[in-house]
Amino acid sequence: MYYTGIHDTSLQVKNMVTKIGENTPPGYPGEYEAWFTVKDGRRVFIRPIKPADQELLLDLFQRLSDHSIQMRFLGHLPGLSPELLDYLTIVNYVSDFAIVAMVVEKKEDHIIAVCRYHSDSQTNSTELAVAVRDDWQGMGLGKEMVRRLLTIARDNGIRRIEAVVDPSNAAFRKLLNALGSPYTSRPLHGFYRFLMEL
Ligand SMILES: CC(C)(COP(=O)(O)OP(=O)(O)OC[C@H]1O[C@@H](n2cnc3c(N)ncnc32)[C@H](O)[C@@H]1OP(=O)(O)O)[C@@H](O)C(=O)NCCC(=O)NCCS
What integer pLDDT is reported at residue 1 of this predicted model? 31
What integer pLDDT is reported at residue 23 of this predicted model? 73
Q: pTM of this prediction?
A: 0.92
Q: Is 131 in the pocket of ligand 1 (CB under 6 A)?
A: yes
Nearest atom in ligand 1 to 179's CA: 33
Number of Cβ within a 10 Å radius of residue 111 = 22
- Confidence at 93, pLDDT banded by 50, 70, 90: very high
Domains of the chain: 11-159 (3.40.630.30)
Nearest atom in ligand 1 to 141's CA: 7
- Confidence at 24, pLDDT banded by 50, 70, 90: confident
The torsion angles phi and psi of 90, rounded to 5 degrees, stand at -105, 105
What pLDDT digit, counting tens, does each position of 144-171 carry? Answer: 999 999 999 999 999 999 999 999 999 9
Closest residue to atom 23 of ligand 1, CA basis: 171
